Structures are given as C-alpha cells and as structure tokens.
Structure 1
Amino acid sequence: MEWSLTVDKALPRPVRVILRGVGQVFFCGNAVTGLIFLIALFIGGLVAGLAATIGVVTSTITAYLLGFSEDDIDAGLYGFNGTLVGPCLFLFLEYSPQLWLYVILAAILSSVVLAALIRILTPYRIPASTSPFVLTCWMFMVAVYSFDKFTPGPVLPTPEIPSIVAGMGGLSIEAWFTVWTDDTVKMWYTALTKGIAEVMFADNILVGILFLIGIAITSWRGAFMALCGTVVGVVVPVVLGANQNLIEMGLYAFNPVLTMMAIGWVFLKPTKKSAILALLAGILTVVCQAGLANFLAPIGLPTLTFPFVLVMWMFLFAAGMSKYWSEPKI
C-alpha cells in the first residue's frame, strides 16, 4: 500500500532499518509492517517482544560496525535473523539473567554467518534467508550442555529415537473436512492463524491475524501466499495422519507459509505458474519437516525453519533449470 511506503520513508533511518529488519522475517521490507509485527510479538508476550527487539537491534548494529553492505542493511536484511534468534532461545532454553547475554551474542553471530553465506550463495543467485538463524540457534542450543549457567528448557526436544505416531489422537480425516461443528470450526481457525504466528514462535491466534494484516499492507499476493501456506500446513498433515496436537498448534504450517511466500511471491516472477510451483513446494515442506524432525530427534534439536530453507533452495535451483524461470528474481 502506497501510504505505508510514504510512512516508511518518512521515519528516521535507524528506526526505519530496525523495523524493516523485523518485517523481513516475512520478506516484507516495510517499516510499517515491521512495526505491526513487533507490536504483535509484544501482545504475544513481553519477553518475546523484548528478545526480538534486542535481537534485531544487535544484529543490525553488528552489520553496520563490521562494514557490511549498506544497501542490505537499509533493506533490513541483517535484522530478521536477529529478530528470530531472540524469541527462539527464550523459548527453548530455561530462563536465566545470563540468557539475555546469550541472545545478544547469538544475534551478533547471526549477522556474521549471514554475511558468509551471502558470499557463498550469491554466485548461484540463491538467498541465505533464515539459514543463519537456524545454524546459529542450533549451535547455541547444543552448546548449553557444556555451560553450567544455561539449562535446556522443557520445550526443547529430548534426545530420543523417533517412534511411529499412534494415530491422529483426535478427530478423523472425515471429521476435519465434512463435520462442521463449533469445535471443528474452532480447530481450523486456531490451526490456520497459529500457523502464521509460529513463524516467530508465537502460540497466539491474535498474533497470527496481525502478522497476516502486516503482510497484506506490503503485498496482497504475499498475504495470499501466506494464507495458502498455512492451509497446506493443515490439510496435508491431516490427510497424511500427523499428530493432531501439532497440527492445531500450527507447527506443521509455519514452514509452508514461508516456502509458499518465497516461491510464489518473492524469488520467482509472480505468475500462475509460480503459484503452482509454490503449492508443490509447500506440500514438500510438510513432508520435509516431518522427515527432518525424525532425523534430528536423536540429538534433541527442533527443525526451526530449516525445512523451509532446504525446500526453497531446492526449488530455486530447480527453477534455474526451467525455461520458465531460468533467472530467479532475487
């Protein structure tokens, strides 16, 4: 929307860059969108909002002090990984005063990792996206076992051999799609909205709605792709018989949300063909997430957004071989 761009440009540069960094979590380099995202995070929880703020400020300042690309910094590209690092570490690790220092250090390193990956991936015209956040958080999560001042939180998966899911643990497939009661409508509403909110680790319906509004302010197509992604992240797991609790919490949906936005809106020309490709990518992301969750189970690490990153990379590399997308738009 034009008015949001006007507001974006009118803001002081430091504020504009920081807010764009928050917005770039959903590929939205718009300060107004970033502000809505940040407000939503504070609504979801004061600690999460503070952690995200500290993360984005730290990672952005780090990029500036290390002399990285001014254009990338202005676009907020050195902010979004830091934005994710903060809430992530506070979710998966036990709270302690030292954890704030841990978040700052992780945010600093996320900018260094991003710069390194940009250098590696740019010749292939492939974006680093949230891979610095994933790699940094994995490293810091595993590292806590060696530090007496930090303790894994109850949400961090316990290292174990993966086991077969014992059914849906709730409604049947038919009930999800054919029996429309207050309970099923509530489940769909909850799963769809939380699927968007969980991109920033927010288990909150209102946060998901605000995120979608923020995306729509930047791009209607982006919002549509995000909505399609969360639908894929509910429908496909239901059909395949995934754990119902995980579906309702949106934990199968947040990766397809990012994948479909990346493929169907950001990095390929926004056409009907790229929308179909985005749908295929979204479906594969669900399967990839389930596979990576089992692969990482023995070492007790969450998948985070790595399913999205992996599938996005595969599809962008594949697009470079197609006569329709020989030059991905990045």
Structure 2
Amino acid sequence: MPAAATEAQSAALRTLLRSLGQIVLQPNAFTGACLLGAWLLSDPRLACAALTGATAANVSAVLAGYRENDTRAGLHGFNGALAGLAAFSFIADNATAAAVAILAGTGTAWLLEPWSRRLRSRGLGYFSSPCLIVTWLWLPLVARVVQPASLATESTFSAVQLSHGLFAGLAQTGFASGALPGFLILIGIAAASRRHALWVLAGAGLASAAHLLLGASASSFDAGLLGFNGALTAIALADCGMAITLGGIVISVVLQMAATYYALPAMTAPFVLASWCMQWLTGRFLRGTGMPEAAERVEAGGRVTSPASVGRAS
C-alpha cells in the first residue's frame, strides 16, 4: 500500500511538472522543473501562481472526466498555470490573486474541451487561448493601466546586452524576468528537444531584432518584452517548415506592435494568432493544390504536443 501511494504521488508530481513544461510546448517533467526553478529565481510568487493554477485546472479536468492521457501529458493544466501567472502578475494583493488564480485555472479547464473541439475541426491548435479568454474576462476589473512603450531606441548594443535581452525574452514566455531564468528555461527546452531549443533562440532573436529595427525601445528589449511571442511562435510552428515558421514570427511581430501601439494587454495573443494564421493559410493552400496529406502534417505540426510524446518525457 505505501508503495502504491508513493507511485501515485510520483505520477501526480510528473503530471504537474508536465503541465508547467507545456507552457513552452514540451510535455516533459524536467522542462517543467526548469520553469519552476526560473520562477523561483525571478519571483517566488510566480512559482506559487503557476502551481496554484495548474493544480486547479488538473483537478477540474479529473472531475469533468477528461481523458486521463491528456491530463498526464499536461494538456489540461498548462493553461491553468498561465492563468495563475497572469493573476499574480496583474493583481498586487496576494489573497485576491490566489483566489482569481484558482477560479481562472478552473475556468480554463472547463472551457478547454469544447473550445479545443471547435478549433480542431478547423485544423488549429488551442495553445494558450483558453488562458487569454479567461484572463481578458476579469482583467478589465483590475485598475492597472498598460502604458505604451517608448519609441526611442539605442543604435548599438554590447554582446552582454544582446545576450541578456535574448534570454530575458525566453523568461517572459512564463511571465518571468531576467536572463538567468531565461537561460534555465532554455536548458529545460533543450532537454526535451534540442531542435526546439535552437528554434526558440532563433524566434526570440529574430522577433527582437525586428522590433528594434521598427523603433521599439531598448528598455523593452532588456526586459525581454520583444522576443517571447516570436520564441513561442517558433516552437509552435517548428515542425511545419522554415518558411512557415519565419512567416509566423513576422506576423507575431506585427500583431505585438499593433497591441503595444494601442496599449492592449495582448500577452501571448500575437503568438496564438500568428500560429493560427499560418496553420489556416498553409492548410488551405496545400489542400487547394491537391496535397491533403501535406496539409494534415502542417496542421498536426502546429498543435499543442499530444500525449503520444509522453512516453519519451521524463
């Protein structure tokens, strides 16, 4: 009996860590542990936020009778973790933030199943869209005004500044800040997929460079605010081909710039919308040219990682 209880606890821990790993589209418990370490380095409140939201979402998924394999892969928990991170990022009071994190995490789990079915019928992955929908519902109640970024920028950067801004962009994929948390997240991604690690660096670098060339501020680059949507888009579309991935990064930059100009709380919406655009456009093009099998590969390549990958996850 003690051995069975220990195994159940271990399985629950792996499920929770995979939920965190899925934030960067990796169904890997070690990746989740690296993200947890990144939050602890950046701000322990974020670690509590992610664990609270993921736990609420996973419990709600179990109570709702969702597929156990999907829950074990972290597919039902990661939007809850993101919802918890958003709550603690936008709400200063810890008690209020914790309550919102639990409610929002639960909301993402209940929304996920019908929403994902609707998207799957169109060949689209749901990514972080449940978190965005739930967060946008309560965010207007929070009295925090998002200020538009300054358009002033420096003409040159040192190698240290460039590396700091690049890794800070990786940290922002999980609402963290700082170069060291970003480097830890990169290690976690590389442990699951070295190819995805290269793409996440390329996505963050290309998106940051594009923003700076178009007039974004150096302070935004230092904070990692320019690269995280490009980084996530690159991972999401990495299996769809280089041209599609680069196109998605460009679209994410344009969408993020528009959101910044109008002072909108876009969060990861540019990544989600850019990935959807490339999946939809490419799928229509390939089907129109009589290549349905290729279209299906593109659509599958951009979806959130499925339980089939759990076997190789730690």
**Over residues 195-242 of structure 1, what are the superposed CA-to-partner deviations in whole Å (9 max), with x where a residue is unaligned?**
100011111211100100000000011101100011012211121121
**Greater CA drift, 281-290 or 11-20:** 11-20
2:159 to 167, 185, 190: 185
Shift of 1:166: 4.5
Q: After the TM superposition, which residues 202-213 of structure 1 pair with which residues of structure 2 at under 5 Å, given as runs?
A: 202-213=176-187
Q: Deviations over 1:23-82 (max 9, x none)?
A: 001110011211121122112111111111111111111111111222221211011111
1:320 has 2:283 as partner? yes
Query: Using the alignment, how far apart are the partners of 1:20 and 1:96 within structure 2?
Result: 25
Q: Which runs of no fewer than 5 residues in structure 2 stay unpaired? A: 1-6, 304-314
Residues 89-128 of structure 1 mapped to structure 2, 5 A cutoff:
89-128=87-126
Residue among 269, 283, 287 paired with 2:250: 283
What secondary structure is seen at the aligned counterpart in 2 of 1:12?
Answer: helix
1:96 deviates by 4.0
Supply the distance in 1 between the matched residues of 2:268 and 2:212 (Cα, whole angstroms).
20
TM-superposed deviation, 1:321: 2.3
Deviation at 1:19, TM superposition (A): 0.9
- CA distance in 2 between counterparts of 1:43 and 1:281 reads 31
Is the partner of 1:97 in helix, strand or coil? Answer: helix
Deviation, structure 1 residue 116: 2.3
**Residues 72-126 of structure 1: CA deviation (Å, up to 9, x unaligned):** 2121101111111122211112224232111101110011122221121111121
Secondary structure in structure 1 of the residue aligned to 2:285: coil
Change (3 A) 1:82 1:139: same
Distance 1:70 1:81 in 2: 17
Look up the match of 1:55: 53
After TM superposition, the score normalised by the length of structure 1 is 0.82
Q: How does 1:39-78 map to 2 (within 5 A)?
A: 39-78=37-76
Is 2:38–2:171's contact at 8 Å kept on the other side of the alignment? Answer: no
Q: Select which of 149, 163, 167 maps to 2:152.
A: 167
How much is the aligned-residue C-alpha RMSD, in angstroms? 2.0
Distance 1:326 1:110 in 2: 29
8 Å Cα contact 1:36-1:210 kept in structure 2: yes
User: What percentage of residue pairs aligned between the two structures are identical?
Assistant: 30
Q: Structure 1 94/11 Cα, relative in aligned 2: closer, same or farther at 3 Å?
A: closer
Given the alignment, which residue of 215, 230, 245 partners 2:204? 230
SS class of match (1:124): coil
Aligned residues: 287
Partner of 1:181: none
Distance in 1 (alpha carbons) for counterparts of 2:255 and 2:49: 29
Distance 1:72 1:49, change over 3 A: same
Amino acid at match of 2:191: I
Residue identity matched to 2:42: G
Structure 1 runs of 4+ with >4 Å offset: none
Aligned counterpart in structure 2 of residue 245 of structure 1, from 205, 211, 219: 219
Shift of 1:294: 2.9
Amino acid at match of 1:289: Q
Question: What is residue 219 of structure 1 aligned with on the other side?
Answer: 193
- Is 1:24–1:77's contact at 8 Å kept on the other side of the alignment? yes
CA distance in 1, matches of 2:8, 2:180: 28
Structure 1: stretches of 5+ with no match in the other structure: 1-8, 145-151, 177-183, 269-273
Corresponding residue to 2:141 among 140, 143, 147? 143
